[in-house]
Structure 1
Amino acid sequence: MRLRGVAKKYLEELTNKMIKCMNHTDMNGSLLKWLFTQIFWGCLLSTGILNAQQSQLVRPHIIDIKITQDEVLVRAFVPEGYKQVFVEGKPRFEVGAWVPRAVIYTEGKKGEYEFRLSVSEKIEWLRIRAESEIPVPVTAFFGESDFAGPVAGDENVLFDAMPVATPDREGDLTEGAGGEKREVVESDIWRLEGDRMYFFNQYRGLQIVDLSNVDQPQLMGEMELPAAGEQMYLVDAGHAVLLARNSCSYWSGDAESRLVIVDVSGTEPTEIASIPVEGRIQDSRLVGTALYVTTQVYRHRTESEGAADEEIWEWGSQVVSYDLSHPAFPVQMDSIWVPGYQNVIQATSEFLFVSTQGSLRRDRGRSTLKIIDIGQADGAMTELSEIRPAGRILDKFKINMHGKILRVISELPIRPLQTDLETFDLTNPKRPFKLGTVTLGKNESLHATRFDGDKAYIVTFFRIDPLWVVDLSDPANPTISGELEVPGWSTYIQPLGDQLLSIGIDNVKGWRVSVSLFDVADPAKPGLLSRVPIGTHHSWSEANHDEKAFGWIEEAGLILVPFQSYEESGSMAGVQLIDLNGDTLQKRGVIEHTVAPRRSALKENVILSLSGRSLMSVDATDRDRPELVSELTLSWRVDEVFSIGDHVLQLTKGSQWNGENAALRLGEADRDFQFLTELDLGSTPVVGTAMRGETLFIAQASTTSVPVPVAEGEKQGPGTYSFVMSAVDLSQLPDLQLLSTKEIQLENPVFGSDLQALWISDDHLVWQSSQDNWFWGNDVVFDGPARGIADIGFWPGGFSGSRFLAFDTDSADGLQFLSDFDLAVENVWNFSGGHAVDGKIYIS
């Protein structure tokens, strides 16, 4: 701390410079003018520091600073009207950014306030910054701020042994510098905590679901933040942290990302603080109450080359730490720049490992692994050293700390490809040194890896999948114990004692997700015990690239795999149930979803299956035939909105492409994320709406493609195309009552997705379709010979017209179809919208 006497020292330095320059024979008038200017401003600085109380009587300012052995006490005066006051610090006056170190909320009251800061080299300079407005009510920042965390688990759990069945926190759990337990946690899209589910839904925002009745979950509250990300942490029972991007300009400023602190202690999640983050968030770890975030940044810097300065742009990872010990008052601690791109991070309670690849030709294909000390519980970081493994580190499972030994697996992108496992001694982390290495997988690409105690399991692939078992009992001499060749490859491995459970790709009959069980009781003779492919020919799963989607529920012997596939009947999405009994995997039933499922878990013998659209409660007593108990809608597509008093009516038009039904949903204007009433309109897409009084008229039309002729002389086969008109009563809200429906079959389809409603009288409604339509056709092949098919190629077609369908809306028998008229005019390819006047429609 150098606040005392800084002005005096500054003036002494300037005076000495002036004396030296005056003794210089080449001193000119411009230099002398510059020196006097510097001394003038130095005097002003001195006056400002030594007389701060006199010059800033009506502005927030520091009164005094006291330094004890453990902390820095800052006493500041805050005038009336300022609600949020920060103490910001930096290591040097001339360089670096001002970083918030403490914050208080004054409710706009005048007075003297005290800040307590930890002693650090990062705060040699301090300043006060105050704001008169804050984004949430002041009362949101008061009340209980310390909450009991979850009970700590086994402190001997290895940091890379993370759970995959549910998003419960596990991982590295060792003692920090102060002796406290600090566990390493990774972010996820959801958390199950007691009778609550927290879900950062990219379609909506943060949602809290009540699971007290697991058969009928209820949406408690939602904080809207759509399309801003989906990774989150639950810091304690009352606070969540969202890792958000600012692509929709939710917050002012130039920051690309944000940490959003949310109060989740009640039923309605509420944002209470946010911190701008430079760059796009790539990865993060929560260690105890310290959060470490890496972002990808493209920045410019000035590099001196002789007499000239050169502007250089470079990619890099910005590693920033935050103290979340008081989540409502987050404090940014330290920032470290790591040059390079494609960052991969891993953490223990003592070290943060950050791997990047350089942009220069000599650095391509080889990673640099930076070792950072994160042993301080408040998030303070210190750079220790860096190592250069043989190749590139592909993911977090390639980095492992075991005692004082760092193990790294990398792929060398040389010809031929190869994989190296290297060991390093970190007894002195400032000077790590290499112990040993083993090379394997020549001419094969590197895939899944997993460390388990003194063993490493490595999967490489070229035409078959070798599973390698590596003995690490002697870190200086790692050796290959055994090898197993099987088709396909694994993307994630879960050690289970003498067995390995994995998910990967089976490429024997197409490209399918597969779950495999391996026997590794004898490391010299690993064997494949069982394998279950998912899907018929082509399938894929989020769990192939994010292991948190892979559900392994050990106590139930149940594996839950989200997947999508192409089947003979069309595309499908669901969760595959697989039993693990001893040495056998058995494929059971499927929980079907309309969109891709993301996560699954077992709670009170009920499977909770989550997608961005809904949360399903499923009874899997009979695992071959899982039965849907209930489905809680979490998001839905909205194509049209009607404001009706205190209500909002939302229309989903539906789609024949993904099987989504059309629907009406009614919600309160101030709580539109929850609907009071839902009316299913069936599978035919909505193509037009018309509001008249307290009745909503809806037009729906089938969009089946026009058949293409296969040869000259062949006629287009007859087709029927459904057109549906409905009337919905809105006079008894929140009830939605279907008054009448009329369905007709047409020889030709009605094209267009936004038909115009024309009232030619009080009781007669005409739907107008006026749209250009272009399509591409191809040969249609039938069983048996077809003349001239070789002469028919890939050809375009198109047409345009204006179609009118008339309905009587006041018939005693409900809606009645009157007529269908197609305005066909030669050589005319475009029509305007119609205008109804005195029973006639005018169109150009």
Structure 2
Amino acid sequence: MSRPYALALPAFLFLGALATGCSDRESPGGGDLNPRVLYGFDSCDDLLGYTKGEAKGLIEKYGNLQGYDYSSGWFGDPVGDGGGLSTGGTDSGGESSGGDGGEAPQDGGDNGGVEGDDYSGTNVQEAGVDEPDIVKTDGERILAFAGGRLHFVDASGASPTLRSSLEIGADVRDAQLFMHEDRALLLVRSSPYYYGDWEGAPQPAGVDLQQYFGPDYYAGITRLIEVDIANPDAMKIVSNLHITGDLVSARMVEGVARVVVRSAPNGLKFKDPYEFFDYSAFEQGGGTEALYEHMWKIALAQSKVHNSSVIDASTIENWLPRYVREDMSNGQAAVTSGVLLACDDVMHTGEYSGLSTLGVLTVDLDGHLAPTGGVGVFSEGETVYASKQNLYVATTPWNPADWDPEASAEEQGRTTYVHKFDIQDRSRANYVASGSVRGWLLSQWAMSEHEGDLRVASTDSLGWDQATSESFVSVLRQEGDELQQIGQVGGLGKTEQIHGVRFIGDKGYVVTFRQTDPLYTVDVSDPTKPVVAGELKIPGYSAYLHPVGEDLILGVGMDGTEEGQLLGLQLSLFDVSDDAAPKQLHKATIGDDWGWSEALFDHKAFLWWGKTGLAMLPLEWGTYDENIGYSWEQGAFGFRVDKEDGISLIGEVQHPEPVVEECWDEYYGCYYSPMLRRSIVIGEQVFTLSDVGLKASALADLSDAHWVEFPQN
């Protein structure tokens, strides 16, 4: 039977790195589960009863766990989240840009650098809560991931020097990292390494995961890599931890990382109706529509019988994430494997939220990477936010009524559930409470903790009718094991949805967009009565908001026309000193036809160095001239931001274009323009990162100073 989790739930690994615990209190409502509370299992039989029961209900209704309606034929319409088998990852885990958290300083800080330090860190949401990125520095060492390698650059001397480059794996092209003292933790989205047996197929070094996860596992794998960086000339991998599932997001506080992974059921050999459809008999019978409908119903029924039998035969290994660990600390790799979670360390939401397991692995970088203990939640959690004290995981269960044209307005719309975990214990985290808000969240930036309360910005609509869309700012406060809504203001951006949001202190700034960009200021000083204090409408929109001085916010977004047509990129400086009348002081338009920046959806690509008023970000834009046609430009561009003087271009940084000797054009060779992705400050220099190297430029004018080239494959 399901049991609610108590407030003092201990923890080490999954979902806040929890361990077991339970409460003797009865489910609320005489057996009806509270959708805002997490419930545990008493045994493996109890867990299997839950998963099999939910899965067989989906099989009976749809014939599959994905929620596709096959009743009218192959390629049916999706009618719901069903089994929750979505395996798509985000960074951040569906975590797009949109603003930073409530604890950032009014002047915007210096991208995570400690007060008084002469270097910038990762541009994070909350001060003291690190986020993984492709580059890290402590002011003397730079760790950068590029081209499938981890590069160690010594920045302590007069000129930066590449000390070593560590090959991470032939299949690795996407990785993020944390750095803490003499350890680095790399987070990699990987695959099961099924490359086939054709001659020349790339085969990664290390353990054969197919041997452990089976030949039928084709979903994503999260690989955590512990790297010893004590010797800059000989970095070495200490251990690998491979987990069945997709990386969603991660945070680190004082050397303790929480890595969020979403793992779908695995190894279940389902069959679709077309595999039972007798096409020969259909053709011999005349191929009529009526015959097709009749035979399809038979095939659907047969697939349901088969799939139900698969569910009946399933085991714990099919429903919970598995792991393979390679321990190389003593030289030769010692491999262990197993199921990551114990049955009584798993929870489910009061309202069904899918059969995937959402979890947060706790890794203390002062210790070693190990799959010890853990708790999981059967939920399709998409969004993660963390303060220094608490971790929040938000999930928005699919509402099938949104697909039903006959559903009433009361039945339509979305609800987001938020689960809170205390992460102040280095070795464990405690589940403490859950709550809900109306609508869905843009990203992590939609949540912000302030003085113990959680502010949440959300957008809701009836089904897909954008005319009914509006946004809200809600305030949740913990009362016992529930996050109760104590205040809410709605009506923001009717017919629009949120494109950017940032909370600063007791103020919120929300950008919605459809044709114009309303920038709303929301006063949350009284959390029980949040109010919209002011509104500014301008063409285009800002996707990312960053404080750059007292009552000043810089917006990174897109310019547009009054009719809603988007133009090039733009930077906007807003004066928010008067809540009732926010103003756009200055605007810098970049290109007039097409533009893009990684900072539009990933805040870590944005650098603000308040000491010199420097805003820097990677940019690409195109322009059209009737005489020469299209032209485009890209690089890392620095802007001076000043309340009086406006936004002015300081300079731009370009990296050398490497020649690729073996390519399609043997005569000319092949060139490509490397994408500059990050900028960091150390002392009087700005370092920019691309796949081909790291360039140091003068902080004052971005003139070239040093070039560090990375080895290329």
Equivalent position amino acid for 1:394 in 2 = L
Aligned to 1:675: none
1:608 CA displacement: 1.2
Q: For the residues of structure 1 that align with 2:622 and 2:383, how far apart are their CA atoms?
A: 33
- Conserved? CA contact 1:320–1:332, under 8 Å: no
| Structure 1 position 482 matched with structure 2 position 534 | yes
Equivalent position amino acid for 1:494 in 2 = H
Aligned to 1:245: 189
- Conserved? CA contact 1:281–1:295, under 8 Å: yes
| Structure 1 position 354 matched with structure 2 position 424 | no
Identical pairs, percent: 23
Please tell me whether Structure 1 or Structure 2 has the larger radius of gyration of its CA atoms: 1
Could you list the per-position Cα deviations for residues 799-827 of structure 1 after superposition, in whole angstroms to 9, with x for gaps in the alignment?
xxxxxxxxxxxxxxxxxxxxxxxxxxxxx
| Structure 1 position 397 matched with structure 2 position 445 | yes
Aligned to 1:597: 676
Where 2:374 maps in the other structure, the secondary structure is strand
Aligned to 2:228: 263
- Conserved? CA contact 1:321–1:335, under 8 Å: no
1:402 CA displacement: 1.1
CA 163–171 in structure 1, closer or farther in 2 if over 3 Å, else same: farther
| Structure 1 position 199 matched with structure 2 position 150 | no
| Structure 1 position 282 matched with structure 2 position 334 | no
| Structure 1 position 517 matched with structure 2 position 573 | yes
1:347 CA displacement: 1.1
1:430 CA displacement: 3.5
Q: For the residues of structure 1 that align with 2:468 and 2:103, how far apart are their CA atoms?
A: 37
Aligned to 2:643: 582
1:403-418 equivalences in 2 (<5 Å): 403-414=451-462, 415-418=467-470
Q: For the residues of structure 1 that align with 2:590 and 2:710, how far apart are their CA atoms?
A: 27
TM-score computed with the length of structure 2 as normaliser:
0.61
1:190-589 equivalences in 2 (<5 Å): 190-201=135-146, 203-213=147-157, 215-225=159-169, 227-228=171-172, 230-247=174-191, 249=193, 250=204, 251-253=207-209, 254=213, 256-267=221-232, 268-299=234-265, 311=311, 314=354, 316-324=356-364, 326-340=366-380, 343-362=382-401, 366-414=414-462, 415-430=467-482, 432-495=484-547, 496-508=549-561, 511-567=567-623, 570-583=631-644, 584-589=646-651
Equivalent position amino acid for 2:575 in 1 = D
Aligned to 1:87: none
Q: For the residues of structure 1 that align with 2:583 and 2:648, how far apart are their CA atoms?
A: 18
Say which of 608, 617, 633 aligns to 2:709: 633
Q: For the residues of structure 2 that align with 1:586 and 1:460, how far apart are their CA atoms?
A: 27
CA 511–316 in structure 1, closer or farther in 2 if over 3 Å, else same: farther
1:739-754 equivalences in 2 (<5 Å): none
Q: For the residues of structure 2 that align with 1:618 and 1:162, how far apart are their CA atoms?
A: 21
- Conserved? CA contact 2:623–2:631, under 8 Å: yes
Equivalent position amino acid for 2:705 in 1 = V
Q: For the residues of structure 2 that align with 1:426 and 1:360, how far apart are their CA atoms?
A: 26
Equivalent position amino acid for 2:580 in 1 = A
- Conserved? CA contact 1:365–1:392, under 8 Å: no
Q: For the residues of structure 2 that align with 1:437 and 1:497, how far apart are their CA atoms?
A: 26
1:573 CA displacement: 1.6
- Conserved? CA contact 1:517–1:530, under 8 Å: yes
TM-score computed with the length of structure 1 as normaliser:
0.52
Q: For the residues of structure 1 that align with 2:183 and 2:617, how far apart are their CA atoms?
A: 30
Q: Which has the higher contact order (CA 8 A, sep 6+)?
A: 2
Q: For the residues of structure 1 that align with 2:488 and 2:481, how far apart are their CA atoms?
A: 17
Aligned to 1:185: 130
Could you list the per-position Cα deviations for residues 626-645 of structure 1 after superposition, in whole angstroms to 9, with x for gaps in the alignment?
43233222253x5xxxxxxx
Could you list the per-position Cα deviations for residues 511-560 of structure 1 after superposition, in whole angstroms to 9, with x for gaps in the alignment?
32211110011111110011112234211000000011011111011111
Where 2:311 maps in the other structure, the secondary structure is strand
Where 1:413 maps in the other structure, the secondary structure is strand
Where 1:571 maps in the other structure, the secondary structure is strand
1:71-220 equivalences in 2 (<5 Å): 157=103, 164=111, 166-168=120-122, 172=126, 183-201=128-146, 203-213=147-157, 215-220=159-164
Say which of 697, 705, 711 aligns to 1:618: 697
1:388 CA displacement: 2.4
Aligned to 2:665: none
Equivalent position amino acid for 1:582 in 2 = K
CA 531–429 in structure 1, closer or farther in 2 if over 3 Å, else same: farther
CA 601–326 in structure 1, closer or farther in 2 if over 3 Å, else same: closer
Equivalent position amino acid for 1:316 in 2 = S
Q: For the residues of structure 1 that align with 2:45 and 2:481, how far apart are their CA atoms?
A: 31
Equivalent position amino acid for 2:228 in 1 = D
Could you list the per-position Cα deviations for residues 701-732 of structure 1 after superposition, in whole angstroms to 9, with x for gaps in the alignment?
xxxxxxxxxxxxxxxxxxxxxxxxxxxxxxxx
Equivalent position amino acid for 1:167 in 2 = G
CA 170–358 in structure 1, closer or farther in 2 if over 3 Å, else same: closer
Q: For the residues of structure 2 that align with 1:547 and 1:468, how far apart are their CA atoms?
A: 20
Q: For the residues of structure 2 that align with 1:510 and 1:444, how far apart are their CA atoms?
A: 15
Aligned to 1:717: none
Equivalent position amino acid for 2:546 in 1 = Q
Where 1:618 maps in the other structure, the secondary structure is strand
